[in-house]
Structure formats: structure tokens, C-alpha cells
Structure 1
């Protein structure tokens, strides 16, 4: 950029009104303060610092503040802070046995109508399928016939992982946590195919894969492997850490 271009740009920017400071209500301030305490009080504005990962599941609050934390320490307690039925029409439990594990994948669903696409959303680490609730609502305002499939990944939300020989009450305990990219990508493909089977769809609808943070890497990997075929119209990643794709 030449000196003349720089001076012109600065003069134009100087005329813009200052950006107003963000306004938080009490619930948002509590949530932000809690996250800053967990993150060690860093002011890092990188993708990894802003993805709000923690050992507790991050879910929207009833007032639709997307990353307000639910009361209680467990992800199931947190998920109860938002009524899924306000945003989705169905919830599904998709069971599978893989290796020595029994997994019950939990998903939220709005089936597409006519020939509209199905948006498949994958949350970031420490979040749940409900973190896309408000997003689903906004998508439906623009595309009323579009479908939304928002999943809870392993060890997140209401998805459970047990050993085949264990009782359901011991879900997620004494099982090695496997959040490798290839594992989560495989889970995503299984969930899409199993949803098709459970809903009785003769063919898959066209798909738009959307992932936040960790979920962004998952949807890109699933799209790249091509296991969903030409049904994948597009994919989008939100707030993904640099260097996560190889």
C-alpha cells in the first residue's frame, strides 16, 4: 500500500463513529468472570483462548446468552438450563457398539422439508449441541424449510460412553477419553447416516457442515474424507485454532 493510500484510509477511518463498548447483563458478567477465572485471567484474543473450553459443558442460558454456564458442575445439570424444545422439534438417541464400547449419541433435530438442506453442526470442546440453538433459530428465519442436526460429541452434553459389560449408571466413568480427530470425524459420519436410517429418509438431504472450534476441524476432516459423498454442499468453520488442519 502506498503512502497516499495509507493516508486516505486513515482519513476515512477517522470519520467513523467510535465503537460502543459491549453491554453485559448480570448473567453474562458472571459467565465471563467465571471463564476468565478458569482461563487464568489471560487477555489472549487468539482462537484457542476464545473457544471457552472447560471441563463443564457450556450451554446457552434461558435468556439465550450463548455461552452462559448452567448451574451445577455436571454437563447434564448445565444442559437443563435451556429447554431444547424451544429450538428443535426432536431429540434422538442413536446407539452403536464400537470396539468394546457402547455409545448413545444424543442429537437435536429439525428435519428439513421439501428439498431444503440439512445443516449439521458440531460444537467446540466443552460445549454441547445446544450451543447452536440460537444459530438454528436464525438459520430457520432465513431458510424456513432447512433442517438442523446438532449433536453432542462424546463426553459432552447427554451423549454417553460405557463399556459393553458395564451398567448404564457408570456412563463415561473408567473409559479412556478419546477425542482424537479421526474418532470424532467417524462419529459425525455415523450420526448423519444413523439419523437418515432412524428418520426413514430414502436418501440423505443435501448437507451443510458447520463446526465451531474443535468442531470446525471435525467437519473439515469429514468433508475431506468424502464419506458423505456429493451430498456435502459446503462446510463452514467458526473460530478454529491456527495449525489445527494438517
Structure 2
């Protein structure tokens, strides 16, 4: 990577920043959820704090108080997925009509399904219930846990093929009767985009109708070139926070999430209370998952993404933040009309959190253009 390109990468990253409960499930406040963040604006490096926890704690900022996800999804439930050995946390608002479409959302590494909360509400409102939204916590994140053998986030296997199988298995459990299943639009942010692209043909092999696949703010070549900088970015993050409100405030102040309302919903799900009897110098809240522990998987997550995206047998949409460049394969594919490209200005890496209204407009327009296309008319991305 040239010095010029490296400096441009560093500059960009520096700027970046309920289904009512199931039977026998006690209603809970989603503000107690927890997980961390990936590429974008982590602010200046933070020196480890050695001040006793009780001495440095400041009153929480009420303007950054957590918001429950119950106002954004109709349902929050745990779904048993035996083929993945997972008890998956799912957030779901079903379509209001029998022939509706469900937007299936896969978050990026370190985040949670609640990353899509504000966008989900916008989609259901703007589509007037024609589109439902399903988001979930990936293995090792949020409230998803193992059915048999408990694992810590550090020992969790986040292999790309396993994550892809998890998504396929979850869809097959939730929509067990494929003949009665709704049409699906797969939307994936960062790592989630790579998973959705790989899951698309597998779901089609199981006879699911996939209207389209949307990849959010990830380009293979750029991402692979930026991966060597990830450790520096992780070093720049604080090791934790003294309150959930402080965690929310940090994400907003560093422009990691530019929408305070979204941060108040999603950030509580990416931090957890420090273990009991932990050293007094540790913050009261720590990141749920150590992103550094996922480093062995980073390259495999994104290698081959462009080719797999362009070969998807469905409509294709690429949503980018700002004026992100395309790699060679995507440039050629765009010139050949193989996919729709939308650039959303004024947002960071977390496009769907920063501007959920515009994201919803883009997703709905993509869905309307490609859903149940009249015979003889090709979908966006079809030759």
C-alpha cells in the first residue's frame, strides 16, 4: 500500500468516527443489551486508567440515557437453531400483509442486531407495513449464546463459512415452510455484507425467494488494504467506560455513530458490566467482544467479496458512505450495469445508524424496483 493511499485511509478513518416477548419470556429492557465497534473514528489513543473506579466515576449524562428497542421492533425473542448450536437473539417486525417482504439484516463485527433498530422503524413506516424487518445478534455478539457448550467471545469461532451457515440455518428455522415464506431482501453491513452475499445462493438452493442483496459500506480491495491499520484503531479505543451513558456519549462525540438516537438504542448492546471482583482500575463497563481476537478471520471475511457479489443470482445493491472508491472488479461491473450503486453523503461507516431515513428510502426503492418484476423485465443487476 503506497504512503499516499495509507495516509488517505488514515484520514478517512480518523473522520469516521417488541414481537411482544415469547410465552414464558419475561419482558426486558433492551437497554441492558451489550457489544463493540469496527472500522471508524475511535478518537485519539487513550492511556490506560489506573484511578480507582469509584474515584473517577462522574454522573451519567441523562441526554445519553439508553432507549429501549421495544419502540423499534414488534418482537424480541430467542430462537433455537440446533444446526448451529445457537440460541439466537432475534428482533422482528413482520410485514402487515400476507404477500409482504422481509428485509433480513446482518450486522458487522462488534455490533449487534440493534444497530438496525432506527432503520427498521423507518422501513416499516415508509413501506406502510409492506416490508417487515428481521435483525439478529451474530454468534459471539449481543444476546446470542450457545445451546450446549458455552463459549466466551474470545473463544468463539467466527469463520466466514460458519457465519454464513448460521444465517441460512436461522432463516430456515424462522420460515420453516419455504412455500409460505415471504420474499427476502438480504442487507449486510461490512462483515454482514460478505455473509449475505455468500448466504444468498444457499438460501436459493433451499427454494427461498431472494429479491435482492444489499451490501453496505464495504469494498473488498479497500477493506483488505485497510486491515493492517485495524490494530492501531483498536489501540485508540478506550478499554471501557464508567457507565453505559458514557459509552453512548463517546460513540457520538467521536463520530463513530453520528445519530444520538441510534447510539442510545444500539450502544448498550455492545458493552457489558466488568466481572465481579475485577481490579478497581478497570472501567465499570467493558467491550462485549474483543475485536482483536477476531483478527485471524479478517482477511477471509472479505477476500473474494466483489466476485461473489457480482455473481449473485438476484438484484444487487451497493451502498457506500461519502465518495468511497470502487475496486477494479466493481468498476467494471458498474459499467456493465451489474449492480445499483448508491452513495449517501454526510455519514460514516455506520451508514444505517447515521442516516436511517435515507437508508430506508434506498432499500425500499431497491425492493420496489425488483420485487415481483413483470415477466420479461430484468431485475437490477441481471444481464
TM-score normalised by the chain length of structure 2: 0.40
Deviation at 1:50, TM superposition (A): 5.6
1:93 aligns with 2:78: yes
Deviation sequence 1:162-208 (CA, Å, 0-9, x none): 5x3x5xxxx433983211111111111111121124xx886110000
Contact 2:181 2:208 in 1 (8 A): no
Deviation at 1:161, TM superposition (A): 2.2
Root-mean-square deviation (CA), in Å? 3.1
Contact 2:88 2:144 in 1 (8 A): yes
Are the structure 2 counterparts of residues 201 and 233 from structure 1 closer, same or farther at C-alpha, using a change threshold of 3 Å?
Answer: closer
Q: Equivalent residue of 1:133, what SS?
A: helix
TM-score normalised by the chain length of structure 1: 0.61
Q: Name the counterpart of 1:3.
A: none
Are the structure 2 counterparts of residues 44 and 240 from structure 1 closer, same or farther at C-alpha, using a change threshold of 3 Å?
Answer: same
Matches within 5 A, 1:218-233: 218-225=195-202, 226-233=204-211
Higher helix share: 2
Structure 2 unmatched runs, 5+: 1-8, 18-33, 42-64, 222-301, 305-383
Are the structure 2 counterparts of residues 176 and 213 from structure 1 closer, same or farther at C-alpha, using a change threshold of 3 Å?
Answer: same
Contact 2:86 2:146 in 1 (8 A): yes
| Higher RCO, Cα 8 Å, sep 6+ | 2
Q: Name the counterpart of 2:168.
A: 189
Contact 1:118 1:208 in 2 (8 A): yes
Q: Following the alignment from structure 1 to structure 2, what is the Cα–Cα distance between the partners of residues 192 and 50?
A: 33
Runs of 4+ in 1 over 4 A off after TM superposition: none
Q: Name the counterpart of 2:102.
A: 118
Are the structure 2 counterparts of residues 94 and 175 from structure 1 closer, same or farther at C-alpha, using a change threshold of 3 Å?
Answer: farther
Deviation sequence 1:20-56 (CA, Å, 0-9, x none): xxxxxxxxxxxxxxxxxxxxxx83426xx969xxxx7
Are the structure 2 counterparts of residues 144 and 97 from structure 1 closer, same or farther at C-alpha, using a change threshold of 3 Å?
Answer: same
Deviation at 1:118, TM superposition (A): 0.2
Structure 1 unmatched runs, 5+: 1-41, 60-66, 68-79
Are the structure 2 counterparts of residues 228 and 211 from structure 1 closer, same or farther at C-alpha, using a change threshold of 3 Å?
Answer: farther
1:136 aligns with 2:120: yes
Deviation at 1:153, TM superposition (A): 0.2
Deviation at 1:122, TM superposition (A): 0.3
Are the structure 2 counterparts of residues 194 and 82 from structure 1 closer, same or farther at C-alpha, using a change threshold of 3 Å?
Answer: farther
